[in-house]
Structure 1
Amino acid sequence: MDQIIELIQWSAQPDNQIQKQVYKRAQELSQDTQFLIHLCSVIIGNYDAEIRYRAAVILKSAVKNCTTLPETLQQMLIQVDLSIQIMRQAFVIIVPEVVVRNGIKNSNIMMEYLIKLIDSDPVIATDCLSKIIEDLKFNSENINYYGTDTGLQLIDQLIFKFISLVEHSNTQVVVNSLNFLNYNIFFMPPSLNQYIDCYINILITGTRSQEQQIRLKCFQGIQALIETNRDKIKQMNLVIMACVQSLSDPDKEVVRFVELCLTDFLRFNDAEDYEKTHLLEPYLQQILQPIILNLAITRSDQIAIQPTFSNSYNQGGKNEDEEQDEEKTLGEYSLRSVSNLLLKKLIEFYDKTIVPIVLQIIDQLQQQQDWKQQEIAVICLGLFAEKIMENHANLVPNILMSLFQEKNQQNEYIYASTLWTFSQYNEWIKTVAINETQFIQSYLKLLLISIENQSIIVKESACSALNSLSKDAFFILQPYLLDLFQVYLKALSQKGGVLLYIYQSITTILAECETIENQELIDLIMTKLISNLIDLNDYNICPLYECLAEAVEKFGQRALKYIPVIYQAIVQSMNGYVQSIQNGKTRLLYQQKEILKRSFDVCIKIINITKESFLELCDQSFLQIVDLAIQDTETDVKQYALSLIGELIKDCYTIFKNVNIAIVLNEYIYAQSISIDPSKLFLATSNNAAWALGELAMKDPAKLTVIFNAVMEKLIKIINEPKFPKSIAQNLCIAICRIAGSHIQQIEEFIPSFFKRVCLILSQIKSQSLDEYKEESFKILINIVKMYPGRVINDIKYFVYCIVASNEFPSIKPLFVNILQELQQSFGQQKFDSMFSSDDLPNGFRMKMINIYGV
């Protein structure tokens, strides 16, 4: 016990490193149930109150990490002295954690104690119970037993008690009770369903409370109802009125939830809900100004609302639990972001009514001296750009000219928002580009100057605007590419987070270019990118690798001389992943996996242009890294590794001369039902492994012989799953055709299981990027029909349909016509015609068959 007291005392030290050591030690000890009992003994013992409180904090951490909780824990915790304020805090910290960790059905002692405590100490009791039900919504599997489990039946029986408690004289009890009831909305237990009208009236009335916390909880409850059970709200007009009246609430957090309620109200699932849009129409004039004013930037925003880049590179080294903790719900958006979402919804449903009103508000805001209001005016011009172009096109030239005003460039937030707003008028810019050369040049000049601005948010907005222009109207940028890249390359000399946006913008521009012939420009780009290949195991290398992958693919052979340097860099980066695994550095492993995936991407592009010469770059350690990656616990890493293997088989097969890669790939095809793979993780891995096997079937079919039957059985099982993702289904069918075609003498018994399904899926492929593989698959299907006509006779119409419904391939037409004529002769005209008499063939099918193929 003395050692535990010492550990608790050390936890009070302000030194972070000492605290980390304390909690690490507590985590180790938490597997011993006696440790938990000793901590609980301290909490209820005759120790200093501060010591007892810290014991509760450590106990909470230990409860999370222990395998099983000791049975005596509940009996001990109900002895906590609640007359001491700090122990009341300790009780609220630990009790909900124990109940949730133990499960409500196994926490009868604690639950019964809390229920008895409602009358004698309602603040503590309601606080604990509301935290328990809150955790149920997010974490606990207990929700699956709602209505059958005795503990949850107990909660259901508490609904009426908590409804009565919202009239309590203590504000905190009211807040806790509302919180408890609000989280029950997501489960809608029988008792709450019974009293739902009463509770809705309580919520509407509570929105007018003098207490901010009560108003906030009432709007949180209303939002939960609109989001999950809007059909329970019989008088939606009263809810709308409450929201409209509270848009002017002095508390911004309350306003944020008011706006979330209105935003969710405008998310409709059926026609009946859609008809209720008229409820908001009478208030549009009244609500627009406050919503627009809520776009004002605050200190916590620190960045304009405009959508630019999603910065996926500032996440640091997080484990999966930390990532899940950071997933944001709608309720965690800032008021500025929520106002933005609500305005978009209002535009969607009431554009003709609100645009004239908004234009008047914008005009008023532009006259204000406050820069924040001026910035709102700029943002609104962007938000309403589509409808302004659609219904007030005559205003667009003046709007864009006003954005060029120098005052817009004196404040970084207005400047950044101005650039974003410009990008919202790309459709108009695209239509005038030919005749308005001077305007286009001025706009591009502004963007290029902005990339060199000192402000990061201005640079980001400029890069985003250029990206948007390149996607919407690349022909505008084409004549200025050299100038554009010179500015970008100059910007690459800078350091810090701004490089992320520059790299991403270069990647986007390169992706839009059909080709770049200028060798001088290629050399400039490649030299500059390569000069930034430093800190190769730093997470921020990822966007540079994405940029290099695009550059290598776009420049092809023209970038060949730079390949050795790039390859050496990515090998060093990949070794960071290997070392993290070997050294057990899990804190950095997340980052190293992301770097590895980007390294694999670059490697694939290198393999595509070097082909068999890739062997001159790599050694045996390269395959060892790939082998380690396909065994990784993270599905994403496996997928990248399998994609890389597929490219190696296609372009540099010699690398596998000492390995039967077919046996390895077969291990990563999982014939699991989608019903037990809802996230489709196994399916995605199987997809990449099957594609690689398809490449192997074309390159070295003999290697497949040993696993042919096993692979075909698994792939056939997968493609016959219901509700199959279309792109994966198409890939797997192409792989099946390739594998079947490589062993056509062995497929007779499999044909009835896959032939119809493959034909139907192939008929749905519309992407031109897959035409080569589709044509190849058709040839294989024709060979199957030719060799096994008796096996396919019942499904022949699907084979014919998939070819007739597709684009005409010159190489396929004579083969197809020939096989149809053979079938006519073999089965006779009458039976042949009967094969296509089914009603499930589309209109025009027979005419197309006659007109194009003459059959």
Structure 2
Amino acid sequence: MPTWQPIPESLNQLCGFLRDSLSAWDKTAQKQAEMMLLQARSSPDINNYLAYIASNPELPPGVTVAPDSWGMVRSSAAFMLKNNVRTNYKKIPAESLAYVKLGVLAALQDPQVLIRTHVSVVATELIKRGGLLSWPELLPTLMSMLSNETGQFSDGAQEGAMSAMRQICEDSPKMLDRELNGQRPLNFVLPKLIEATKSPLPRVRTQALQAINIFVPRKSQAMLNSIDDLLQHLFILATDVNADVRREVCKAFVQLVDARPDKLEPHISGLVDYILSQQKSDDPQLALEASDFWLAVGEHDKLWQALDPYIQQIIPVLLECMAYTGDDIALLGLDSDDESEEDRAEDIKPAHAKKSSARNINKAGNAQDATAKATASFDKLLQGMGDDFEEGEIEESDDDDDEEEDPEERWTLRKSSAAALDVFARDFKGRVFECILPFLTNNLKSPDWPLREAAVLALGAVSEGCLDVVSPHLGELIPYLVTLLSDSEVVVRQITCWTLSRYSSWAASLTDPAQKSQYFEPIVDNLLQRMLDKNKKVQEAAASAIANLQEVAGKQIEPYAGPIIQQFVRCFGKFKDKNMYILYDCVQTLAEQIGPVLAKPELVNALMPALIDRYQKVPDDSREIFALLECLSYVATALNDAFRPYAEPIFQRCVHIIHANLEQSMAATSNPAIDQPDKDFLITSLDLLSAIIQALDGNGAAELVNSTNGSLFELLGLCLEDLTDEVRQSAYALLGDCARYVFPQLQPYLQSILPMILKQLDFENVLDEDIDGSFAVINNACWSAGEIALQHKKGMAPFVPDLLQRFVELMGNPRVPPSLVENASIALGRLGLDNAELLAPALPTFSEEFLAAMEDVDASEEKATAFKGFTMIVGQNPQAMEKTLLQFFAAIARYRDLTLRNPIKQELHDVFQQAINTYKQMIPQFNDFLAQLAPADRQALTANYVV
């Protein structure tokens, strides 16, 4: 260490503060210590003091903290030092940084594991902030300590070096693989890490593998060069006596499945035996890592097919691992009757507004495309795998206390095995069912509930892959499963709901009324009953199953809508907050499937009072409002004019939420002390306004808009320029709906809104890192521009040149996805309906792209109006079609539309005929020209038009 020495009084004071800052039993002392430490951060020598404390194994002279507290004080010093480096690295003097680095290297050799671990984090923070060149001797020093070729380093020092190296690999993988002075550090580091897996120290072997596993999926050249060497070491380590080492070996094999499956294929027989042996380990984490191997292999066809000979070995192990273990049962805390207990706020997942679909003109401008639903899918059952960070991204909140994890959301051996069984069943079908049949026979009626539950889970897991071979048994299985909905065990009732939902498509597809009565109706009736189970988890499972059943049954659910809604109403009166979310999903799924049938008086009069009652109880700032407003959007769309009696207060509340959110946003922009509001409140409110305007159509919607005295469009203008993509996406959807249904109210605001559309359509403003979100916004901007063009007619003239430029840029840019090219083309065609003469001179710049885009667009009113506008442009400048004329005639010949209303269909036919007549006069050998068309196209043209 350098010659710097602490002042004894200051050192003693600081140690006291560090100790007291961790004093859980004296809150006053803790608060005072935290304040003093905050002040101490401004001292120029603070990091020297912290490094001195962290790196000293012995209590320094004059320090009065109790000797048994010294370890705690040192850990606290290392923690504070890490935070100082993270937040103030550039302000730390060079001489202080040098002292800290030497202190870190000393502390990495400390006898205490905890100190070495904390100081490893300081080391990686120094590298993250300053880069490798700021501490060029670090990696060679760590490698020297790790290899211990001179024998001078203790076991603790080797473990400390490995701990720091693993931490650096984890936090700065890109930095290690980036060229520095003509070399990539990873080329030097990776072979050393592989060599370190031979260490006699289990902790070093484990952490070396952890570091290696960071780089396997990255497929860097250094890793690809080392694959063969790594495999040799893995095969040796596969029999390591240490379970932590074997866990990392299994993880490495999982990573290699994706990185180099070809390297594993020759060893598949041995790998199957090894993975199965580890999956049966008493160590739950090791067994889980092994089980995940099957899911990884399922993503690679050739390697997956290589498992074919081993199906009869693998499936029984998966089944064995699907039963709840004693530890699982203890974590679940199987409270049976908890229906009356209020949900804790922390038990309710933070709700987020679902991103509304981009307007797809190819589907008649329907903004209410189906969104991802929380149904009883396999993903729903196996939730909780967690979100991986983006490549190279570091979690900045790692200092925060970990939130208590819901045991049901942990990724477990049981879930991994069930998911693997599902994948095996999809591809190996009947052979898998043969393997599980003895398990089902022995355990479906077992008195041991974990085995009974596992058998029901297995039956659900194979439902999609093995349906053909399971179907002959369903006549017996379905009635038995229905009885299990009344099982005395909560988890059996819960899993039975899910398994029945997996077979609901089979039951819904039955055409024989007697069979429907025997199987489908009991499923519906009993799942509905379970929605009022005395256990909240069973309620959730049953509601999720009903949502899924409604979705797969579609229109066939209509005859049961009455009893279903009655039960939903009871649930609104009984469910606690957490289960309300799945109940909203049930309601909106029913609305989506039965549509206008929901408007029957006996249905709407039963459902709406319950929904409105809940709507009145949920405050504006509750996150539950997202799910509720989305549900109301589906209901409004289904009810159409029957929603009118409920529309005004809901409409006004949405406008109020938007106003309050924008007001807070503006306040937060000017005053950093005010938090920015959650944009999800804006998104769901805008989407519901869209749904209500669509539902009420015409006069009803106009009355609602008028009641806002123009504030709706002022607020909408602000949303159109919001910085959040999802807000603008929903705002442009609402703008298009206003153009379609309440244009007279919108028209006075177009002079300010149309420039906003032009700005949004400028592809140059799209950022690469958010390109997908921007495309969705531009989609809706195109759609709204087309809707406005239909209504504003000649009023669009001042904006035609700029709109033309934007549309042509989008249509001709190879980075733009085909769906957006189609939408831009249709908007441009519609612009031509009343402004053909302004667009005609530019026809050669877009005719080819327009016609190509139209080939894949389904027949719709949008396509018809766009083609009519385009043909009118052609009529203004027919000579400009010289290069694309044959393509144009082929498009006319292939145009088919059997669903449009007669006026639109006839208008399009007439303009096509006018175009044909024009070219008949212009082209002397017209029949010879038509002879260039494909025979089918020429025949269709002759049959439908006068040529």
Please classify the TM superposition score into its range, dividing by the shorter chain length.
0.7 to 0.9
* 1:593 aligned onto 2:679: yes
> Is the CA contact (8 Å cut-off) linking 1:104 and 1:151 kept in structure 2?
no
What does the per-residue CA deviation read over 1:397-431, in whole Å, with 9 as the maximum and x for residues that have no partner?
00112112257532222112212222222343122
Which residue of the partner structure matches residue 170 of structure 1?
201
Correspondence for 1:581: 665
Structure 1 residue 731 corresponds to structure 2 residue 827:
no
Deviation at 1:200, TM superposition (A): 0.8
Matched, 1:651 2:741: yes
Residue matched to 1:805: 894
- Which residues of structure 1 form unaligned runs of 5+? none
Coordinate RMSD, CA, aligned: 3.8
Aligned residue for 2:363?
A: none
How big is each residue's C-alpha offset from its partner over 1:265-305, in whole Å with a ceiling of 9 and x where there is no partner? 2212xxxx52x445323322222122122222425578998
Whether 1:540 aligns to 2:632 is no
Q: CA 1:592/1:55 → structure 2, altered by over 3 Å: closer, same or farther?
A: same
Per-residue CA shift, 1:564-619, capped at 9, x if unaligned? Answer: 22123323433452354256499997883222211111111222313321233314
Name the residue aligned to 1:372.
450
Q: Give, in whole Å, the separation in 1 of the partners of 2:38 and 2:709.
A: 43
Q: In the alignment, what sits opposite 2:79?
A: 57
Separation in structure 1 between the aligned mates of residue 579 and residue 917 of structure 2, nearest angstrom: 65
C-alpha displacement of 1:41: 6.5
In 2: Cα distance, 1:210 partner to 1:13 partner: 40
2:306 matched to 1:279?
yes
* Equivalent residue number for residue 561 of structure 2: 481
1:369-768 to 2 correspondences below 5 Å: 369-405=447-483, 408-429=486-507, 430-432=509-511, 434-439=513-518, 440-494=520-574, 495-516=576-597, 517-533=599-615, 534=617, 535-578=619-662, 580-582=664-666, 584=668, 592-608=678-694, 609=696, 610-653=700-743, 654-655=745-746, 657-658=748-749, 660=751, 661-672=753-764, 676=768, 679-701=771-793, 703-722=795-814, 724-766=816-858
2:221 equivalent to 1:186? no
TM-score, normalised by the number of residues in structure 2: 0.80
Q: Which moved more, 1:420-429 or 1:220-229?
A: 420-429
Q: State how 1:96-107 maps to structure 2 within 5 Å.
A: 96-107=124-135
Alignment of 1:72-471 (within 5 A): 72=95, 74-80=97-103, 81-82=106-107, 83=110, 85=112, 87-118=115-146, 119=148, 120=153, 121-137=157-173, 141-142=174-175, 146=178, 148-150=179-181, 153-233=184-264, 235-237=266-268, 238-268=270-300, 273-274=301-302, 276-297=303-324, 298-299=328-329, 306-308=378-380, 333-405=411-483, 408-429=486-507, 430-432=509-511, 434-439=513-518, 440-471=520-551
Secondary structure at 1:808 match in 2: coil
State the one-letter code of the partner of 1:398.
Answer: E
Structure 2: how far apart are the matches of 1:248 and 1:310? 21
After superposing the two structures, state which structure 1 stretch, 656-665 or 255-264, moved more.
656-665
For residue 198 of structure 1, report the CA deviation from its aligned partner.
2.8
1:336 & 1:310 partners in 2: Cα distance?
A: 9
Q: 1:559 to 1:676 in 2, by over 3 A?
A: closer
Structure with the greater relative contact order (CA < 8 A, sep ≥ 6): 1 or 2?
Answer: 2
Instruction: Quote the offset at 1:555 in angstroms.
Output: 1.4
Distance in 1, matches of 2:791 and 2:879, equals: 30
Structure 2 vs 1, CA of residues 26 and 734 (structure 1 numbering), >3 Å: closer, same or farther? farther
Separation of aligned partners in 2, 1:73 and 1:512: 68
**Distance in 2 between the 1:719 and 1:442 partners?**
54
1:554 partner letter = A
Q: Structure 1 residues 60 and 797 mapped into 2: Cα distance closer, same or farther (>3 Å)? A: farther
Residues 719-765 of structure 1: CA deviation (Å, up to 9, x unaligned): 21225333333222222222344432222343222221121112211
* Cα contact 1:186–1:224 (8 A) shared by 2: yes
Residues 102 and 698 of structure 1: is their aligned pair in 2 closer, same or farther, counting only changes over 3 Å? same
Counterparts of 1:302 and 1:775 in 2: how far apart (Å)? 61
For 2:169, the aligned partner's letter is: I
On the 8 A contact 2:425/2:462 being kept in 1, the answer is yes
Contact between 1:308 and 1:460, CA under 8 Å: does it hold in 2?
A: no
Give the fraction of aligned pairs with identical amino acids, expressed as a percent: 18
Return the alpha-carbon distance in structure 2 between the equivalents of residues 361 and 491 of structure 1.
37
Aligned 8 A contact 1:78 1:113 in 2: no
- The alpha-carbon distance between structure 1 residues 68 and 13, as it changes in their structure 2 partners (threshold 3 A), is same
CA positional deviation for 1:152? 6.6
Residue pair 2:555, 2:594 contacting (<8 A) in 1 also: no
The one-letter code sitting in structure 1 at the alignment partner of 2:917 is Q
Paired with 1:57 and 1:481, the residues of 2 have a C-alpha distance of 60
* Residue deviations 1:192-216 (CA, integer Å, cap 9, x gap): 4344223212213322222110000
Letter in 2 for 1:515: P
Change (3 A) 1:806 1:103: farther
Shift of 1:390: 1.0
Contact 2:485–2:496 (8 Å) recurs in 1: no
The one-character-per-residue Cα deviations of 1:70-99 (angstroms, maximum 9, x if unpaired) are: 455652333224235254233112111221
How many Å separate the matches in 1 of 2:606 and 2:29?
51
Paired AA for residue 142 in structure 1: M
Scaled by the length of structure 1, the TM-score of the pair is 0.88
- Look up the equivalent residue of 1:504 and give its one-letter code: D
CA distance in structure 2 between the partners assigned to 1:633 and 1:427 by the alignment: 43
Amino acid at match of 2:627: P
2:914 equivalent among 800, 811, 818: 818
- Number of matched pairs: 831
Offset, 1:180: 2.0
Structure 1 range deviating more: 2-11 or 429-438: 2-11
Displacement of 1:57 after TM fit? Answer: 1.4
Deviation at 1:780, TM superposition (A): 0.6
Compared with structure 1, are the counterparts of its residues 488 and 40 closer, same or farther at alpha carbon in structure 2 (3 Å cutoff)? same
In structure 2, the residue corresponding to 1:241 is in which secondary structure? helix
SS in 2 for 1:169: coil
The CA deviation at 1:702 is 5.0
Deviates most, 376-385 or 54-63: 54-63
What is the rounded CA distance, in whole Å, between the counterparts of 1:710 and 1:236 in structure 2?
63
Q: Which amino acid aligns with 2:913?
A: V
C-alpha distance 663-779 of structure 1, shift in aligned 2 (>3 A): same
Q: Deviations over 1:640-669 (max 9, x none)?
A: 122222222332332452562112222222
- For residues 341 and 124 of structure 1, do their structure 2 counterparts lie closer, same or farther at Cα, with a shift above 3 Å needed? same
8 Å contact kept, 2:422–2:465: no
Q: Which runs of 5+ in 2 are unaligned?
A: 1-9, 64-69, 335-375, 388-392, 899-904
Residues 772-797 of structure 1, C-alpha deviations (whole Å, 9 max, x = no match): 11010110111011111111221123
Distance 1:375 1:538 in 2: 37
